[in-house]
Amino acid sequence: MGVEQTSLDLKRGDTWSRTINFEDEDGSPIDITGWVIRLTAKAKIDDPDVSAVFSVLAVLSNAAIGEATISLTSTHTNQTVGSYLFDVQVTTNLSEIITVLEGIINISKDIYTGVS
């Protein structure tokens, strides 16, 4: 598993969810039973984990076929408009720690705030 790079463009205060599928080099699903998968966002790369903007655990939606879902609530995305660094790190059932995804979360201002 290599580290994939991406950017996520989110609106402040919106909910967001994505499913990640884990596959081997041949494209076959990997059983992720017992894995812990965490998305962590920080303002600066050197910030300690306790200072993370937010950190969420994925739900193993169908572990036998390598499927996990990461969800952010409106509280997670209700941040100061700007860019944040993030990564998705896996701890396997063999205690291996692997970063599988990293990049930037761009939070932009929403147009409608729901306030009249």
How many residues belong to the chain? 116
The confidence band for 116, taking pLDDT boundaries of 50, 70 and 90, is low
Cβ proximity of 100 and 5 under 8 Å: no
pLDDT beyond 90 at 63: yes
The confidence band for 111, taking pLDDT boundaries of 50, 70 and 90, is confident
pLDDT score recorded for residue 12: 95
Q: Is the dihedral of CA 101, 45, 11, 9 positive or negative?
A: negative
pLDDT score recorded for residue 80: 95
CATH number of 4-108: 2.60.40.3350
Tokens 């996520």 sit on residue? 8
Say which DSSP state 64 is in.
Answer: G
In this structure, how many other beta carbons lie within 10 angstroms of the beta carbon of residue 87? 16
pLDDT score recorded for residue 112: 74
Q: Which two tokens stand for residue 71?
A: 């969800």
The confidence band for 44, taking pLDDT boundaries of 50, 70 and 90, is very high
pLDDT score recorded for residue 93: 93
Spatial separation of the C-alpha atoms in residues 8 and 21, rounded to whole Å:
17
pTM tops 0.85 = yes
pLDDT score recorded for residue 58: 97
- Beta strands at 97-108 and 4-11: parallel, antiparallel or unpaired: parallel
